[in-house]
Amino acid sequence: MSGTPASADSGAGRAGVLGWVDDRFGLDALRYAVPHHANSLAYTLGGITMGSLVLLVVTGVYLAQFYDPTQAGAHTSVVYITDTAFAGALIRSLHYWLATAFVAALVLHMIRTFATASFKAPREGIWITGIVLFLLAAGLLFSGTVLKQDQEALEALAHNDEIARLFGFAGFWFSADFTNNVSVVTRLYIAHVSILPAFVAAALAVHMLLIKRHRISPLPWGTPEQIAERERSEPSRTFTSHLDHIGMWTVVLLGLVLILAGLAPAGLGPAGVAGIEITKPPWYFLWLYPWEDWIGLAALYIIPAILVLGLLSIPFLDRSDQRDPRRRKPWMVLAAAVVAAWLALTIYGAVSVPVSHTGMGG
């Protein structure tokens, strides 16, 4: 008889601890229901994007231990990371390929969201916060490009300064003229590791709370009535099971980028030389390169502004109750045209001859 009370007390203790934690932190709220299809790959792309972001933070924290965020020491410190720091070349290559995976997963997630009409009422806020995250991701990619201070980075920084001048007072904060006390490289490093991640965390929190509030969108096939019936009758899973699924795909992603890091390590050019422009931007910005050839530096904010305004307007323009992409053919044709144009511009930017845009020299 003496063993029974001890066993009961042990169970009560465990329940008590779990109850105490849940009462204060509400962890059991993560067990809310999500539809069965949420664990399909197409509907896990957002989670894969978040998983790649977490891995980027982890690798970035390690790289920050060796990085010198000054204009004079930045390139030398990246050389040190690559050649001397323990596992520095591997971690840097992981960081590079994780950024590529992050962009690819994010774009595919946006395409899936558009194709399945997941932006429609009442989920407009989810789409809008997603576009905000898309813009913040572009800021992270640009600021990360500048930090290595090779020729590509120096030319990217020159573009940053030129655009800041075009904006006048509105762009003053982004220019090298803002202060002589701290270099613009240091300020962009601060933006990369603290300011932009803080905004990402805030936008991501709102994004996820809205998904919890409105649930993951239903499968879009059929009439509105058929979709509504399927949403009511579809089996559900807990969000924790969805997190397990995201974790599995994140591990797969990590394996893939490890292979890529081994096969194609992140490159680093020599220290940048001011006054020349001989490189092209990273692949995720190459689609803007032809526009810069055609209409000048203004293209770097005019074209993205048109794209972003177009994306933000979609929930307010496509207001029908149809979700099936087969019943939204004009919108699907438009989306296919935009994606095809993006691919064509990227390829054209890759094969075209580099030219000077910033007035830095011939």
Among 3-17, 75-89, 169-183, 259-273, name the one with the lowest average pLDDT: 3-17
Q: What is the pLDDT of residue 1?
A: 45
Q: pLDDT tens across 148-159, in order?
A: 999 999 998 888
Is the CB of residue 286 less than 8 Å from the CB of residue 141? no
Residue 294 in tokens: 């055609």
Among 131-135, 171-175, 197-201, 349-353, name the one with the lowest average pLDDT: 171-175
pLDDT at 16 over 90: no
- Quickly state the pLDDT bin for 48 (edges 50, 70, 90): very high
Give the position of tokens 């220019």: 175
Q: What is the pLDDT of residue 78?
A: 97
3-state secondary structure of 271: strand
Question: Is the preceding omega at residue 122 within 30 degrees of 0, hence cis?
Answer: yes
Q: What is the pLDDT of residue 168?
A: 64
Among 133-147, 279-293, 345-359, name the one with the lowest average pLDDT: 345-359
pLDDT at 290 over 70: yes
Q: What is the pLDDT of residue 323?
A: 96
Residue 249 in tokens: 């795909």
CA atoms within 13 A on the CB side of 244: 7
Among 120-134, 144-158, 171-185, 222-236, name the one with the lowest average pLDDT: 171-185
Q: pLDDT tens across 248-278, in order?
A: 999 999 999 999 999 999 999 998 888 788 8
Q: How many residues does the chain have?
A: 362
Q: What is the pLDDT of residue 171?
A: 61
Q: What is the pLDDT of residue 277?
A: 83
Q: What is the pLDDT of residue 37?
A: 94
SS (H, E, C) 286-299: HHHHHHHHHHCCCH
Q: What is the pLDDT of residue 94?
A: 97
Q: pLDDT tens across 204-228, in order?
A: 999 999 999 999 999 999 999 999 9
Q: Find the mean pLDDT for residues 129-143.
A: 95
- Quickly state the pLDDT bin for 21 (edges 50, 70, 90): confident
Give the position of tokens 């994007």: 49
Q: What is the pLDDT of residue 178?
A: 78
Task: State the CATH class of domain 34-274.
Answer: mainly alpha
- The domain ranges of the chain are 34-274
pLDDT at 13 over 60: no
In whole angstroms, give the CA distance from residue 117 to residue 313: 13
pLDDT at 200 over 50: yes
Percent of the chain with pLDDT over 70: 91
**Looking at residue 237, what DSSP letter applies?**
E
- With DSSP H G I counted as helix, E B as strand and the rest as coil, what are the percentages for the chain, rounded to 5? 75, 0, 25
- Quickly state the pLDDT bin for 194 (edges 50, 70, 90): very high
pLDDT at 111 over 70: yes
pLDDT at 71 over 70: yes
Q: What is the pLDDT of residue 6?
A: 45
Q: What is the pLDDT of residue 61?
A: 97
pLDDT at 239 over 80: yes
Q: What is the pLDDT of residue 11?
A: 42
In sequence order, the 6+-apart residues with CB closer than 8 A to the CB of 232 are none
Phi, psi of 339 (to 5 degrees): -65, -40
158-165 contacts: CB < 8 A, separation 24 or more? 158/274, 158/277, 158/358, 158/360, 159/297, 159/300, 159/357, 159/358, 160/184, 160/188, 162/297, 162/358, 162/359, 163/297, 163/300, 163/301
